[in-house]
Amino acid sequence: NGQGYPDYEKYICIIDNLKKWMTMNANIEIKEMPKMDLAYVSSIGTRNLESAYQSLVKWARPQGLISEQTKMVTIYHDSHKVTEANKVRMSASILLDKPVQVSGEIWPTSIERGKFIVGSFEIGLHEFEKSWTGLFLWMNENGYKKADRKPFEIYHNDFNQHPERKAIVDFCIPIES
């Protein structure tokens, strides 16, 4: 029929290398996380995420919401595995520690408390996809099932300020209890 057989040895090698990379680069925990209140700007397509964050910061700075402790959060409404990069829906968000008035393109939302697989990384931007793939592999291999909620990233630094331009980030997958 003209179709070749998949190279299973190559596939197993890729998986083994990913597992080794995760062991060296990830700290993975199961955590009960509290409810998080956020303000967000919608973004469609990965190329538009940076401008969504710029709009969010432009709104948040005069409100006194930006400090060294500020956490930014990206919520993924679509999977990059099944949705084209230019159509992936995301929310560029800021974690709030107090209620605020939102307006214009800024909207309120929250991430409900729950159980999550949390993978903590210090990585370059080019390693985000590998990190997500590895974390979902870890989830499956350890018998967890993704809950019907959205995965997200919590940023603990501004990667532009890091000497190696690395992000200190938690990747969070909601799981069933």
The answer to whether 135 touches 120, Cβ cutoff 8 Å, is no
State percent of the chain over pLDDT 70.
Answer: 97
Domain containing 139 equals 26-174
Question: Looking at residue 118, which CATH number applies to its domain?
Answer: 3.20.80.10
Would the pLDDT of 29 be above 70? yes
152 vs 149: CA distance, rounded Å: 10
The pLDDT value recorded for residue 1 is 44
Any domain includes 125 = yes
The Cα-based distances of 163 to 125, 126, 160 in angstroms read 14, 16, 8
Q: Supply the pTM of this predicted model.
A: 0.91
Any domain includes 140 = yes
Amino acid at 39: A
The answer to whether 74 touches 93, Cβ cutoff 8 Å, is yes
Any domain includes 4 = no
Confidence of residue 169 (pLDDT cuts 50, 70, 90): very high
